[in-house]
Structure 1
Amino acid sequence: MDGVIYRGSRLVPGASDFITRLRNHGIPFRFLTNNSQRARRDVALKLRRLGIEASENEVFTCAMATARFLASQKPDGTAYVIGEHGLAAALHRNGLTVVDDDADFVVVGEGRTLTFEMIERGVRLVEKGARLIATNIDPNCPTDQGIRPGCGAIVAMIEKATGVQAFSVGKPSPIMMRVARKEMGLRTDEIIMVGDTMETDILGAVQMGYRSVLVLSGGTRRQDLKRFAYQPDIVVDHVGMISDEFIFDKMPMALAQ
C-alpha cells in the first residue's frame, strides 16, 4: 500500500478511481501491506479518511500473516515483540502471549518508538534460543517526506549481532502471498499483484505464478528494472493507469495489492 495507494498521508494519483473501478466490475481484492505497525481495522480507517471506502476484511497485513504462521508452529507460544500495536494485537488474536523473558520467538516489526534497549533484549533472547522472526525484510519504507528504516534494517542489527538469520513471513514470502489468495478463495491464475517494489511485490508474484504490475509511484524507477532477472508483466506510472483490458486478460477474477 505504501507507494501504491498512498504515500504517507496523501493518496497516490488515480488510486481512488482504481478501487472504484474494481468495485464496479465486481472484482474482489485485498490491500496487502508489509507495514506491521497498524491493525487491519486501523488501516481500513486510514483509507476511509483518505477517501477510499474500505472494510477491515479487505486488509491483510504482514503482522496477521506472521501471527497465523507462529500460531501454527507453536500454539499458545510466547513472543518478545520489537514493534508496535498492530503486531502485538495480531499475536494476541492468534493465541500467542507477549512476554519480556523466556520467549519462544523474538518477533521484529517496524516502528518509530523502538529503543536500543529493545534490540539488546532481543539479541540476548535469541542467544538463549528464541527463534528470530521478521514480519518482512523491507530495508526502508516510503513516506511523503522520504524513506525511513524498515523492518529489514532493524532486524539486521540482531542478525549481525547473533549470527542468526531471521525467518520472514511478509512479502515476498509465499506464506503471506498464499494465505491472502486462499482468504479470497481464488486460484493462482486469478490473481494480479500490484506493487511498487521489485524485491518484494514483484518477486513474490513471480515466485507464486501471479501476474504482476509494477507501479512507479513508490521507490522503484523504470531504469532500475535492468538490474533484475525477473520482470513484471507491465509497468505503469500509477494504479490509475492499469487498463481494464489487462485486468480482464486471461480472465483473472481478483487483484491483490
Structure 2
Amino acid sequence: MKQYKAYFIDLDGTVYRGKDHIPEAKAFIESLKAKGIPHLFVTNNSSRTQKKTVEKLKEHGIEAKEEQVLTPSIAAANYINQQQKNADVFMIGEEGVKDALENKGITITDYEPDYVVVGIDRHNSYQKIKEACLMIQNGAQFVATNPDIRVPTEEGFVPGNGAYVNLIKQVTQKEPIILGKPERLMIDVALNEIGVKPEEAVMVGDNYNTDIRAGINAGLDTLHVQTGVTSKEDLKEVDIQPTYTVETLAEWEV
C-alpha cells in the first residue's frame, strides 16, 4: 500500500455511527498520530461547530483540535463572504451553520435575503421550507451545505440534508450551489491546510456518493470503508471504483 503524507477522514459512518463507537477507527487514528501523519476530519455534518465536533470525537475516545475539523458550514460561509461582502442570508440549519455565518460577519435575516443557505435542521418545518422556496424564486441564491440523502445512526438510516435540498430544488426548479462533498471545495481547502499535493493525500470515507466521489473529483486516492452507507455490494454498481476498499480500518496499515 502506498504511503501517504496526509489523510482526510470522514466522520459519520467512518469514525462513529451516531452514539456507537467504531473501535477500528480509534486505533487507525492513533496510528496516524503515532507516526506523525497529518490528518483532518472532513465532514458533511453541518449541524455541529468545530468545537462540538471535537467534543463528539472525545466521546468516542479520539482527541482532536478544532483546526483539524472542516465542515460544509464553514465552506458555505467562506463562499458567500468571497462572493459578496455584507450579505444577508436566510438560514435553514442548526448551530454549526449559524456559528459559521456569524463568524464571517454575515447577517441572518427573514426578509429579502441575498442567499438561502440550507443545512440539516432537525427542527425543520413546512413554514421554513415554504419561505426558502419563495425567497429562491424571488432571486435569492440557493446554497446547500451538503447533498447527503441519508445518514447512518445507531438506530439506522435517517434523512440527511440532501432530502430537504432536493425538495426545495423540485419546488423552485433551481439548482443549488453545493459546498460539501462530493464537490471538491473542502478537499482543496484541506490540501491547502496541510500543504500537500493531491497525489500525496488519501480521502477516507464510507459513502461512495459523497466521500469517495469528493476524493475522485479532487484527484486523490480514496479508501472506502464498509462501516456506513455504501456496502461492498453497492460498489459493484459504480463505474469508477475507489482506490481501496476495506471491511474495517483494522485492515489498513498507515
What TM-score comes out, normalization by structure 2 length?
0.94
The equivalent position to 2:153 in structure 1, one of 133, 136, 143, is 143
CA deviations on 1:194-219 (whole Å, 9 max, x unpaired) are 01011111111112110110000001
- Once the two structures are superposed, the pairs formed by residues 221-236 of structure 1 within 5 Å of their partners are 221-236=231-246
CA deviations on 1:84-141 (whole Å, 9 max, x unpaired) are 0100110111121111111011000112111111001101111110011110111111
Q: Which amino acid in 2 is paired with 1:141?
A: V
Partner of 1:152: 162
Partner of 1:80: 90
The equivalent position to 1:93 in structure 2, one of 90, 94, 103, is 103
- 1:78 Cα deviation (Å)? 1.2
- 1:241 Cα deviation (Å)? 2.0
Provide the C-alpha distance between the structure 2 equivalents of 1:238 and 1:92, rounded to a whole number of angstroms. 38
For structure 2, list consecutive stretches of 5 or more residues without a partner in the other structure: 1-10
Partner of 2:207: 197
CA contact (8 A) 1:13 1:238 kept: no
Provide the C-alpha distance between the structure 2 equivalents of 1:196 and 1:239, rounded to a whole number of angstroms. 11
Q: Which amino acid in 1 is paired with 2:31?
A: R
CA deviations on 1:132-165 (whole Å, 9 max, x unpaired) are 1110111111111011111111011111111111
CA contact (8 A) 2:212 2:242 kept: yes
Provide the C-alpha distance between the structure 2 equivalents of 1:207 and 1:86, rounded to a whole number of angstroms. 25
The equivalent position to 1:55 in structure 2, one of 65, 86, 91, is 65
CA contact (8 A) 2:226 2:245 kept: yes
**Residue 31 in 1 paired to residue 75 in 2?**
no
- 1:240 Cα deviation (Å)? 2.6
The equivalent position to 1:5 in structure 2, one of 15, 19, 23, is 15
Provide the C-alpha distance between the structure 1 equivalents of 2:212 and 2:60, rounded to a whole number of angstroms. 26
Percentage of identical aligned residues? 36
**Residue 109 in 1 paired to residue 109 in 2?**
no
User: Which aligned segments of 4 or more residues in structure 1 are displaced greater than 6 angstroms?
Assistant: none
CA deviations on 1:50-88 (whole Å, 9 max, x unpaired) are 211111111111111111111111122111011101001
CA contact (8 A) 2:42 2:186 kept: no
RMSD: 1.0
Q: Secondary structure at the match of 1:227?
A: coil
For structure 1, list consecutive stretches of 5 or more residues without a partner in the other structure: 245-257
Provide the C-alpha distance between the structure 1 equivalents of 2:59 and 2:236, rounded to a whole number of angstroms. 38
Partner of 1:163: 173
What TM-score comes out, normalization by structure 1 length?
0.93
Q: Secondary structure at the match of 1:14?
A: helix
Provide the C-alpha distance between the structure 2 equivalents of 1:102 and 1:225, rounded to a whole number of angstroms. 44
Partner of 1:71: 81
